[in-house]
Structure 1
Amino acid sequence: MNAPLGLEEAQARLLALAPTLPSEIIRTDAALGRILAADLVAARTQPAADLSAMDGYALAPGEGPWRLVGESRAGAPYRDVLATGECVRISTGAMVPPGADRVLLQEDALDADGRIIATDLPPPGRHIRPRGFDFHAGDRLLGKGTRITPGRLALALAAGHGTLAVTRRVRVAVMDSGDELSPDPAACLPHQVPASNAAMLAAMLGELGCEVTRIGPVPDDRTALAAALAEAEGADILVTSGGASVGDHDLVKPALAEWGAETAFWRVAIKPGKPLLVATRAKLEGGAQVILGLPGNPVSSFVTGFLFALPLVRAAQGDPAPLPRAETLVAGEELPAIGPRREFLRAVRSGNAVRLAGSQDSSALSALAAADCLIDRAAHAPALPAGAAVTVVMLRNG
């Protein structure tokens, strides 16, 4: 049996298998959360003309007073060229008329029978947003692989794009298996546990904008597993939870083999999450389906989902940096020594310090629910005193 892979090698081998998805054109106002399939290049200049940044008066050059000859409002510009000694009333966002070189704030102006006197004359250019100060037509505004946020959606519309090319949503099937799983948490017998892993993983994947199909829970039965796997035929990625270890009733690996899947690697040297399986399977329409078999313990399933399933989906979406980002914080308490596997401890951040969220048992959901980060501890690391530097991955990155 081959030795478990290190985390970085396992992640790299998995991401190299990420499916390549086609792009599609959708309305920009419906693109929230989607991933750009091409660079976003400005189709127009913003602003398209010099605009007033304040309410007041657009002044022709000079010391004044200025004769008031009209008004420029947002959406209704003053079209004529200002002559020496002329000005127009102007509102915020309105076009600065040709011939004006500054905007006088309304609170710094006196109106003497249609002649405007400046009590505090601004210098040339003041209170004017020049044409193109935000961006120019042809500017590259967002790169391929960028996720559309509300601000980026507004930027795309302002740049003149009513539609966007985005990566098709990743189709993910999530299956949990095990005779001990009860589909109804309100009717769970003493020998059962509520089936929570598939719902947890589906929620994690749904936050990335996937199309998620849940399958199961599936009993430990080859026929039932074969029927369940058939439901995942059209998925780009299949994520399973449970049944991929080495027990007599861990039937997912042989069921996947009968389905036509080929194992890429199995087992990763981390805790929790050692019995992780990665396989591929040819799809009828071409390309390969990626199968990610996660452990059945809920915390193990979450941690491996965070470290492997979410980066795999991001890579399929075209994200150029799909892995979670690490940062250095301070241990808020003494941390225990680590065994032979790299360990990810569930923790809570307070300022720049982190403390353990509670029990680190791989079945302890209360600590997982309280955690907002994972402390990354190297294999065989000694006990660490409070105040020492620690590497942390924030779960908000997932």
Structure 2
Amino acid sequence: MKPSTYPLLSVDETQEIIRSHIRTLPIEQVWLNQALGRVLAQDISAEADAPPYPVSGVDGYAVASSDGSAPRRVIAELTAGGPRVAGIQSGEAARIMTGAPLPSGSDAVVMVEDTAEADGVVTLTTHPRPGDNVRPRGVDLTAGQAILSAGTRLGSAEIALLASVGAVEVPVYRRPAVAVLATGDEVRPAWQVPAAGQVRDSNQIALLAAIAEAGAAPVSLGIARDDVAEQTARIQAGFAQADVVLTSGGVSVGSRDLVKPILESLGQIHVGRVAVKPGKPLTFATVGDKLFFGLPGFPVSTLVTFEVFVRPVLLAMQGHSVSTRPRVEVVLAEPTRPAPDRTEYQRAIVRFDGHRLSATTTGAQVSSRLMSMVGANALIIIEPGTEPMPAGSRVPALLTGPLA
């Protein structure tokens, strides 16, 4: 084991270096049923007025308001999607359903609750005015109107709007493919019972899930032994099929930590150490136009460094204008002690206690203890320092889930 020669960078310095290498991925066309969560790459405009003609906003009777409240002879029934009639004359009315187009000669709809019909004649209990209960042509959208702008994340409402104007195939930014490799002689698949000195592979499973949660396309590279040739081949296979490659483990300074030397031979390492807790050995490199992140092997370190450094990259590559978690101020419910030289991300549960956001940690903040991640909805950020922080101290936090 020998000391690292890589400079110890701050979190801000590391994030700035990483950001300088992010590129938004090319545009692709997808069908609406594949567009949920994607980011629109171009502005979308309505091609026609909506509705394309005046329609009834209620069930009732289409009338000419100039006839006042006089009785009318009912000459037709109009339904949404049904046949249209030529029109109505003075003294006539048409029974009409919500969404049906108004017949010519009418300019108002009287709600059925304000009428009584008998023997084909309808009487009104109200005096109609022009435009009553009528949705005019183009009231919702006009032809050429911009309805969604580039950079919009497509949720269910946006997809419904696109469907309503016939935009069934839309331009979005491509999802990055992200390949994940677990490393270590001691790592075994999660479905195997580990022997003495071995551990189940939770890191790769967790990363594949986190990648999918971030909207990217996960690719498993399996588990590689602590062997230079094997790890090199797996990493190169990852670059051949993915935009980003992640590894877990093997990035520290031990004799079996091989990832950094491999990346030095394949590309350029930009970050080799970060003043962050957990996750100090985090590695960031580029190989051509591909990105590489070497994440530490402890499970919590893996997930925290993914959350802080990798997830924002995957969102930015997909065109998201905001790629970071919501950052809020919280009040510590318990005292804590800062690390003297590293920014610490403590796992916590944040609650609204009636007038402020209160943060309680999830117990022992040990990088091997996955239970500290379970149930957490925030990472509270404790900047370096030497003085204890009492309960009631205010600190920033990244919200990783809904408030408890």
TM-score, length of structure 2 as denominator length = 0.88
Q: 2-side partners of 1:391 and 1:71: how far apart?
A: 63
Match of 2:299 in 1: 298
Q: 1-side partners of 2:24 and 2:141: how far apart?
A: 32
What one-letter code is carried by the residue in structure 2 that aligns with 1:338?
A: P
Pair 1:373 & 2:378 matched: yes
Among 255, 279, 285, the residue aligned to 1:279: 285
What one-letter code is carried by the residue in structure 1 that aligns with 2:149?
A: G
Pair 1:355 & 2:360 matched: yes
| SS at structure 1 position matched to 2:241 | coil
Q: For 1:310-359, what per-residue CA distance to the aligned partner results, in whole angstroms no more than 9, with x for missing partners?
A: 1111111122222222123444x123131232221111233343321222
Q: 2-side partners of 1:131 and 1:267: how far apart?
A: 62
Structure 1 unaligned residues grouped into runs of 5+: 283-287
Match of 1:285 in 2: none
Aligned counterparts, 1:9-28, within 5 A: 9-28=13-32
TM-aligned CA deviation for residue 18 of structure 1: 1.9
Match of 1:54 in 2: 58
Match of 1:94 in 2: 100
User: Residue 114 of structure 2 contacts residue 126 of structure 2 at CA under 8 Å; is this kept in 1?
Assistant: yes
Among 30, 33, 36, the residue aligned to 1:32: 36
| SS at structure 2 position matched to 1:349 | strand
Change (3 A) 1:143 1:296: farther
Instruction: Tell me the matched-pair count.
Output: 390
Match of 1:307 in 2: 308
Pair 1:231 & 2:249 matched: no
Match of 1:392 in 2: 397
Q: 2-side partners of 1:39 and 1:137: how far apart?
A: 14
| SS at structure 1 position matched to 2:170 | strand
Q: 2-side partners of 1:21 and 1:78: how far apart?
A: 49
In angstroms, what is the RMSD of aligned CA positions?
2.3
User: Residue 19 of structure 1 contacts residue 289 of structure 1 at CA under 8 Å; is this kept in 2?
Assistant: no
Match of 2:185 in 1: 179
Change (3 A) 1:391 1:135: farther
What one-letter code is carried by the residue in structure 2 that aligns with 1:146?
A: T
User: Residue 33 of structure 1 contacts residue 208 of structure 1 at CA under 8 Å; is this kept in 2?
Assistant: no
Pair 1:8 & 2:15 matched: no
Q: 2-side partners of 1:176 and 1:98: how far apart?
A: 71
Match of 1:334 in 2: 334
Aligned counterparts, 1:77-226, within 5 A: 78-121=84-127, 124-226=130-232
Q: For 1:6-44, what per-residue CA distance to the aligned partner results, in whole angstroms no more than 9, with x for missing partners?
A: 323322321221244222222223322333222222223
Change (3 A) 1:133 1:355: farther
Structure 2 unaligned residues grouped into runs of 5+: none
What one-letter code is carried by the residue in structure 1 that aligns with 2:100?
A: A
| SS at structure 2 position matched to 1:369 | coil
Q: For 1:162-190, what per-residue CA distance to the aligned partner results, in whole angstroms no more than 9, with x for missing partners?
A: 21122223111111112221214441123
What one-letter code is carried by the residue in structure 2 that aligns with 1:6?
A: S
TM-aligned CA deviation for residue 382 of structure 1: 5.2
Q: Indicate the larger mover: 16-25 or 303-312.
A: 16-25
Change (3 A) 1:101 1:328: farther
TM-aligned CA deviation for residue 153 of structure 1: 1.6
User: Residue 188 of structure 2 contacts residue 199 of structure 2 at CA under 8 Å; is this kept in 1?
Assistant: yes
Among 263, 268, 286, the residue aligned to 1:256: 263
Q: 2-side partners of 1:244 and 1:131: how far apart?
A: 64
Change (3 A) 1:38 1:396: farther
Pair 1:73 & 2:42 matched: no
User: Residue 273 of structure 1 contacts residue 303 of structure 1 at CA under 8 Å; is this kept in 2?
Assistant: yes
TM-score, length of structure 1 as denominator length = 0.90
